């Protein structure tokens, strides 16, 4: 036997029957985006590496450690996208969308790539569904997007997803806060891991994201960013909270939630689940406002807000509920003798053309084994075709879940199946 080649570590196959759960997830996402007036945007999986360095940030784990970066044959440095926000902003700027419309609302769904340590709910290729809105500086844009995510969770029957909020303020006032955080961290230098000692100088906010218990203990006593907001940023944050309450969306303000990406300004939020199927991967989504990014990437000064949901994690939650059933055929056609095989093939083709999901087994075999396969297929009905049925033009429609067979004419099968769908 030849040597077997395995899939890439951390990149998983999504196969039947689980794919039915994925399809239910995607359908609910599409439907919810439609209701909110968001339109789909698709960008390539690879981008110029500089795009992520400039947007996500050089000192983040994503850019510093987790990107799949390679040179193409012409020597360009490309990276598989670790997230979808920067690529969408790149496209928004490149296609001068701001000149065509004052407000743009886009959604996307696709695979993202981060070289992370594998565990439950954390993969190297994972799927995100995201929404991004450009052109609105009002706090109602955050509120609308959080409402969108909550309505999607509700459509999926996933209750128990919590919202955590924070405000990261504006870059102008953040400088003062970063300095006070830096001096606090310097005073606790010996309690920090080597990496956080470095982060203290390069990008102190990232210390909040460190999983090391020693560093966690230090940041628990650190000054909170919410204490250092400008009056505008504070007022903006208060309106978001008031509007969420207006819509009946519960939330908790978590001043230590800073997100692992550099482009955020003002509101940042996360959607969290405590369901044990997720292990420690409790964030099912996150996002926030990023008012400076469009300009930083060469576009006009345009405010923006967005989020992305981790579809693999939503999949785990939905699968554990066990509510999504794979679609089943309505009819299984079996042949009583080999001479009827061509007629069965033609009949099955005719019914499929009429829109019915019909199965048959081209391998043939004994009627008993075919009926076993019919049961296994999950079909609602079976029909046996032999010379008797072909001559009379009549057959029996047998309910596979039990019950009396129903006689009917073969030429009336389409309508009989339609009535039973
Ligand atoms: P993020 O928090 O890095 O944000 O990712 C969003 C979600 O993607 C996470 O909450 C998580 O559910 C999922 N996720 C992230 N990494 C993995 C992984 N390795 N395996 C499985 N799931 C994962 C962003 O990506 C931002 N672009 C969100 C955003 C959009 N901000 C503004 N607009």
Contact, 162 vs 273, CB < 8 A? yes
Residue 324, pLDDT score: 86
| Side-by-side strand order, sheet with 69-71 | 46-48, 77-80, 69-71
Ligand 1 neighbour 284 (Cβ under 6 A): yes
**Are both 402 and 381 inside the same structural domain?**
yes
Distance 25 CA to ligand 1 centre (A): 17
Distance 362 CA to ligand 1 centre (A): 45
Ligand 1 neighbour 285 (Cβ under 6 A): yes
Ligand 1 neighbour 258 (Cβ under 6 A): no
**Are both 311 and 335 inside the same structural domain?**
no
Among the candidates 270, 297, 321, a domain finishes at 321
**Are both 255 and 106 inside the same structural domain?**
yes
**Are both 130 and 77 inside the same structural domain?**
yes
Residue 406, pLDDT score: 94
What is the number of domains present in the chain?
A: 2
Task: Look at ligand 1, atom 31, and give the residue with the nearest C-alpha.
Answer: 287
CATH at residue 338:
3.40.50.800
Among the candidates 278, 300, 321, a domain finishes at 321
What are the Cα distances from residue 184, in Å, to 159, 192, 219, 271? 39, 12, 9, 29
Residue 119, pLDDT score: 94
Contact, 269 vs 287, CB < 8 A? yes
**Are both 139 and 282 inside the same structural domain?**
yes
Residue 172, pLDDT score: 83
> Do the domain assignments include residue 39?
yes
**Are both 110 and 157 inside the same structural domain?**
yes
Residue 366, pLDDT score: 94
**Strand ranges, E, within 220-373:** 252-253, 267-273, 283-289, 304-310, 331-335, 358-360
User: Across the strands, what pairs with 109?
Assistant: 129
**Are both 311 and 351 inside the same structural domain?**
no
Our mutation pick for probing the ligand 1 site, out of 104, 129, 134, 310, counting the most ligand atoms within 8 A of Cβ, is 310
Residue 326, pLDDT score: 84
Task: Look at ligand 1, atom 8, and give the residue with the nearest C-alpha.
Answer: 310
Residue 103, pLDDT score: 98
Residue 67, pLDDT score: 98
What torsion, rounded to 10 degrees, do the Cα atoms 228, 230, 234, 235 define? 170
Range of the domain at 103: 17-170+229-321
Ligand 1 neighbour 57 (Cβ under 6 A): no
Residue 421, pLDDT score: 74
> Do the domain assignments include residue 235?
yes
Residue 391, pLDDT score: 96
Contact, 92 vs 297, CB < 8 A? no
Among the candidates 276, 300, 321, a domain finishes at 321
- Residue 9 in tokens: 């570590």
Phi and psi at residue 12, to the nearest 5°: -105, 150
What torsion, rounded to 10 degrees, do the Cα atoms 366, 370, 372, 376 define? 160
**Are both 142 and 270 inside the same structural domain?**
yes
Contact, 382 vs 371, CB < 8 A? yes
Which segments of 46-115 does DSSP mark as H helices, in order? 49-55, 61-65, 85-94, 97-100
> Do the domain assignments include residue 3?
no
E strand or H helix at 283, and its extent?
strand 283-289
Q: What is the rounded CA–CA span in Å between residue 85 and residue 105?
A: 12
> Do the domain assignments include residue 177?
no
pLDDT beneath 50, residues of the chain = none
> Do the domain assignments include residue 208?
no
> Do the domain assignments include residue 210?
no
* Ligand 1 atom nearest to CA at 85: 27
Ligand 1 neighbour 128 (Cβ under 6 A): yes
Helix, strand, coil percentages, rounded to 5, for the chain: 45, 20, 35
**Are both 75 and 154 inside the same structural domain?**
yes
> Do the domain assignments include residue 206?
no
Q: What is the largest CA-CA distance in the chain?
A: 93
Q: What is the rounded CA–CA span in Å between residue 284 and residue 279?
A: 12
pTM: 0.94
Residue 1, pLDDT score: 78
Residue 323, pLDDT score: 84
Q: What is the rounded CA–CA span in Å between residue 359 and residue 348?
A: 7
């Amino acid at each position: 036997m030849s040597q077997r080649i395995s899939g890439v570590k951390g990149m998983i196959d999504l196969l039947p029957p689980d794919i039915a759960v994925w399809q239910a997830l995607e359908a609910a996402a599409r439907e919810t985006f439609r209701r909110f007036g968001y339109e789909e945007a698709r960008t390539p999986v690879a981008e110029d590496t500089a795009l992520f360095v400039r947007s996500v940030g050089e000192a983040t784990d994503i850019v510093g450690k987790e990107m799949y970066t390679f040179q193409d044959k012409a020597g360009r440095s490309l990276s598989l996208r670790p997230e979808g926000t920067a690529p969408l902003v790149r496209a928004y700027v490149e296609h001068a969308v701001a000149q065509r419309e004052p407000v743009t609302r886009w959604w996307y769904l696709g695979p993202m790539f981060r070289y992370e340590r594998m565990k439950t709910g954390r993969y190297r290729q994972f799927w995100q569904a995201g929404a991004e809105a450009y052109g609105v500086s009002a706090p109602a844009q955050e509120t609308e997007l959080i409402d969108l995510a909550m309505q999607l969770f509700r459509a999926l029957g996933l209750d128990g997803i919590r919202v955590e909020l924070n405000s990261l303020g504006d870059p102008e006032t953040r400088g003062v806060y970063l300095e006070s955080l830096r001096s606090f961290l310097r005073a606790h230098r010996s309690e920090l891991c080597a990496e956080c000692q470095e982060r203290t100088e390069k990008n102190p906010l990232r210390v909040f994201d460190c999983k090391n218990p020693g560093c966690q203990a230090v940041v628990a006593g650190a000054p909170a960013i919410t204490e250092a907001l400008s009056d505008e940023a504070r007022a903006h944050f208060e309106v978001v909270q008031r509007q969420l309450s207006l819509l009946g969306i519960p939330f908790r303000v978590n001043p230590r939630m800073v997100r692992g990406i550099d482009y955020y300004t003002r509101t940042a939020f996360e959607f969290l689940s405590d369901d044990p199927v997720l292990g420690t991967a409790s964030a099912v989504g996150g996002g926030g406002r990023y008012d400076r990014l469009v300009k930083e990437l060469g576009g006009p000064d345009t405010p923006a807000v967005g989020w992305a949901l981790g579809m693999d994690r939503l999949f785990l939650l939905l699968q554990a509920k066990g509510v999504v059933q794979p679609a089943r055929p309505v009819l299984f056609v079996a042949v009583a003798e080999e001479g009827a095989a061509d007629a069965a093939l033609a009949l099955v083709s005719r019914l499929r053309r009429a829109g019915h999901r019909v199965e048959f087994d081209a391998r043939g075999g004994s009627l008993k084994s075919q009926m076993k396969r019919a049961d296994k297929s999950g079909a609602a009905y079976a029909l046996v075709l032999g010379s008797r049925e072909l001559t009379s033009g009549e057959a029996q429609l047998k309910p596979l879940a039990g019950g009396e067979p129903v006689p009917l004419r073969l030429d009336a099968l389409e309508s009989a199946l339609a009535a039973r769908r």
